[in-house]
Amino acid sequence: MHAYAGKTLRVDLGRQHVHEEPLDTDAAQAFIGGRGLATKMIYDEVNPKVDPLGGANKLILATGPLTGTSAVCGSRFMAVTKGALTGAIACSNCGGNFGPELKFAGYDMIVLEGAAKKPVVIVIDDDQVEIRPAGKLWGKNVHETEDTLHEQLGGDFKCVSIGPAGEKLVRFANIMSDKNRAAGRSGVGAVMGSKKVKAIAVRGSGGVSAADPKAFRAACLDSLEKLKAGEVTGGGLPKFGTAVLVNVINEHGLFPTRNFQQGQFEAAEQISGETIAEKILVRNRSCMACPIGCGRVTAVKDGKYAGFGEGPEYETIWALGADCGVSDLAAATKANYICNELGFDTITAGGTIACAMELYEMGLITAKQVGCKLNFGNGAALVDLVTKIGYRRGFGDVLAEGGARVAQKFGRPDLFMGVKKQEFAAYDARGAFGMGLQYATSNRGACHVRGYMIAPEILGNPVKMDPLTVKGKAEMNIAFQNTVAALDSSGTCLFVTFSIGAPELAAMLKTATGFNYTVDKLLLAGERIWNLERMFNLQAGFTGKHDTLPKRMLREPMPAGPAKGKTVPLSKMLPEYYRLRGWDAQGRPTKQKLAALGLS
Amino acid sequence: MVKVLAIDHEKCTSCRLCELVCSERHGGAYRPARSHIRVAIYPEDAVYLPMMCMQCDDAPCIPVCPSGALVRDTQTNAVLVLEERCVGCRMCALACPFGAINYWDNKARKCDLCGGDPECIRFCTPQALRYEAVERFSHSARQAYADRLRDSLKEVTA
């Protein structure tokens, strides 16, 4: 067996029992690994109607065949489950060192089943697997948890853990790894918390081999050279991190500001990647096998927000900055550190607080309810509230449900800025129509990384598309969604797609696995994965009606900037999208389509 | 011209590609546990240190070997382990101040500079590892330090 470790570890938490099973190589060929293979298992084994926080849900941490190899950015694992925030299929991608270490220990994936009665820690030392009581680790934050595990077990164990947010079932809790890396969307950490798994520590002495070592090495080097030469992967990202986008997106007028009331933030300069590099950057940090190194190790040296950690990256500095109208880099950075330590999603946290801020300014939420003023721009309230969210204290308990439920509770569901109960990322779709279609159709709720239409619409990568037209958007969206589904399943990082595409990915996968992957087969696998995710959601109760956007996107024209006067013409794109997908008018995959994909 | 492997730890991003490709080159699998280079990562101090054999000129591992298994490669200046002579006593590992000598499958194992074409260098994107002529060795470090000094002087005069 090449590229794959060849074994799956199943952990039955109710019975405190673990067992191994061999990798299904036919399924691996059809679904690649990672996101695809884990989704197939969830689809086969979990009733889509289950309570995501109940014992019948399962949580899979899945690596891909390129994880733990020299493939560019081959560090990723996916957390796949039914999402606590959305009730839809969730798959949340994480880098760092855990994924590769899991493979070195001999496992492609871990399946967590049932729920433990008392909190546990799972320790994997090659083929020695133990379920131990979590004891005093329960209640500790993510950093304390990893430090304690390293003291107890040894510094060479790689960890994933949940913080207080996961324990307390904050609906957008993360699974954290290497302290500051996150499987960060849809509430996969709340699912782990519901199973009472505090942490998984793994150490492996084994290795991963390629089917054709010489050809695989050549394919890796080819991609590596392209990443080094790429403007984004070899320039912008290493130099300024993802926050290099702040100025770019702001200039294009789609930098969502104050809960998407505006598309440009007057203080963008103060929270830009350039400013981060100048004021707080200590050094870059890479996930394993990554030549980019977009990770930002940062320090706020003095003042009331002094601290040390990683971030903010682009989506975070937007969510905790512009979306909340906060221009104080130190406050937003501190809020980021707290999110990481307590273990929850910065995007949904920022989006939820921004929504609450708008409700507050409208008088629908009072200072008495919150415990302080909650006006836009209030950095002190932001820092206070993220702490309260993490522990579900005071008003944080309300916010811990996410923006959709907050907006519903206070009588203005239309002020939730997201889709399928998950918040938008840092792009106002009125300034990039294809991104709007992407948000509406994403299988895990609003999301920028299912199909990053900003690349063609704003950055001109791989081709430049006019962001303010509908032409070609459905087709491009589908191509992106399928490619990324395949990429996420392979174990490498979305960021490689700034410099390489399906041909390079197919070359690495083919030579690593020995399976005869071609570009067509790879994209077909991506399409198969996308359709299976869709089937899960349809069976969970979602319909085409959920493929929509908030009223603000559809009917409130952008007030100013390059996209002034625009709304998202979703109804002009969605039918074409369904048709090109081979789905019926209600967005259901047809029998013929499912048969063609081998899913019937 | 003899080359040496130079480490500039300040450029390291802790990606560990060096560990992956070293182990593959020497053992046919991506397996950091069997890499001759290991990156010591101190996240709280933001310090990443690639650790490996320095190919010492007066190498303590060579004289302690009871079977004459450690020898100097005259082409690359690397210290090599002759597997057929190695008795697996691990005295060389004991003598090495850097912990750069490994041991598995009953033999001492160490960096051999890949015969003069180090695989780790090939994959090190930030150029924290360089393989350069002896004459250039201190040049890059000196230049890097001078650059930093220049920057701080600019700040003072600005």
Dist CA A244 CA A318 (whole Å): 12
pLDDT score for A492: 98
Give the mean model confidence (pLDDT) for residues A387-396. Answer: 98
A69-82 pLDDT tens trace: 999 999 999 999 99
Share of chain A above pLDDT 70, in %: 100
The answer to whether domain A429-498+518-596 has CATH 1.10.630.10 is: no
Q: Is the peptide bond before A312 cis (omega within 30 degrees of 0)?
A: yes
Predicted local confidence at residue A537, as pLDDT: 98
pLDDT at position B76: 94
A238-423 is classed in which CATH architecture? Answer: Orthogonal Bundle (1.10)
Query: DSSP string spanning A311-344?
Result: ---HHHHHHTTGGGT---HHHHHHHHHHHHHHTB
| pLDDT tens per residue, range A26-71 | 999 999 999 999 999 999 999 999 999 999 999 999 999 999 999 9
pLDDT at B141: 72
CATH code, residues B3-131? 3.30.70.20
Q: Is A293 on the interface with B (CB under 8 A)?
A: yes
Whose structure tokens read 């899960």?
A: A536
ipTM of the complex: 0.96
- Count of other CB atoms within 10 angstroms of residue A111: 21
Q: Cα(B111)–Cα(B55) distance, rounded to whole angstroms?
A: 8
**pLDDT for A480 beyond 70:** yes
d(CA A306, CA A318): 20
Which candidate from A68, A238, A291 shows the least CB-CB separation from B30?
A68
**Minimum Cα–Cα distance from B42: chain A residue:** A155
Report CB contact under 8 Å: A104, B31: yes
- Is the model's pLDDT at A431 over the cut of 70? yes
Among the partner-chain residues B16, B23, B43, the one whose CB lies closest to the CB of A207 is: B23
**pLDDT at residue B125 above 80?**
yes
What is the pLDDT at residue A63?
98
Q: How confident is the prediction for chain A on average, in pLDDT?
A: 97
Nearest CA in chain B to A75: B15
Please tell me the predicted confidence (pLDDT) of residue B2. Answer: 84
Average confidence (pLDDT) over B77-97: 97
Superfamily holding A7-203: Aldehyde ferredoxin oxidoreductase, N-terminal domain (3.60.9.10)
pLDDT of residue B143: 81
B35 vs B120: CA distance, rounded Å:
10
Whether A290 shows a pLDDT value over 70: the answer reads: yes
The tokens for A136 are: 């005093």
Inter-helix orientation angle A329-342/A346-361, to 10°: 120
Cβ–Cβ under 8 Å, residues A267 and A328:
no
Q: Provide mean pLDDT across the span B103-125.
A: 97
The 10 Å CB-count burial string (b at 16+, else e) for A467-487 is beebeebbebbbbbbbbbbbb
User: Nearest residue on chain A to B24, judged by CA atoms?
Assistant: A209
DSSP A459: I
Question: CA-CA distance, B20 to A374, in Å (whole number)?
Answer: 49
B35 contacts chain A (CB < 8 A): no
Q: Is B68 exposed, middle or buried (0-12, 13-18, 19+ CB in 10 A)?
A: exposed
A155: distance to nearest CA of chain B, Å? 10
B46 in reach of chain A (CB within 8 A): yes
As annotated, the residues of chain A forming the CATH 1.10.569.10 domain(s) are 238-423
Q: What was the pLDDT predicted at B158? A: 63
Residue of B15, B23, B44 lying closest to A290 (CB–CB): B15
Residue from A314, A66, A295 nearest B41 by CA: A295
In angstroms, rounded to a whole number, what is the distance separating the alpha carbons of residues B90 and B147?
A: 43
Is the pLDDT reported for residue B138 higher than 90?
no
Sequence ranges of chain A with CATH classification 3.60.9.10: 7-203
| Smallest Cα distance from A206 to chain B, Å | 6
What pLDDT is recorded for position B145? 83
- Give the pLDDT score at B155: 76
The SS3 of residue A298 is strand
pLDDT of residue A600: 84
Cβ-Cβ contacts under 8 Å between A and B: the total is 87
What is the C-alpha separation between B115 and B113, in angstroms, rounded? Answer: 5
A120-125 vs A197-203, strand pairing mode: parallel
Rounded to an integer, the average pLDDT of A451-472 is: 96
* CA nearest to A341, candidates A304, A381, A386, A300: A386
Are B30 and A206 inside 8 Å of each other by CB? no
User: Do the Cβ atoms of A285 and B20 come within 8 Å?
Assistant: no
Is residue A496 within 8 A of residue A233, CB to CB? The reply is yes
> Is A596 part of the contact surface with chain B (CB cutoff 8 Å)?
no
Task: Name the average pLDDT for chain B.
Answer: 93
Measured in whole angstroms, how far is the alpha carbon of residue A448 from the centre of its chain?
A: 9
A290 touches chain B (CB under 8 A): yes
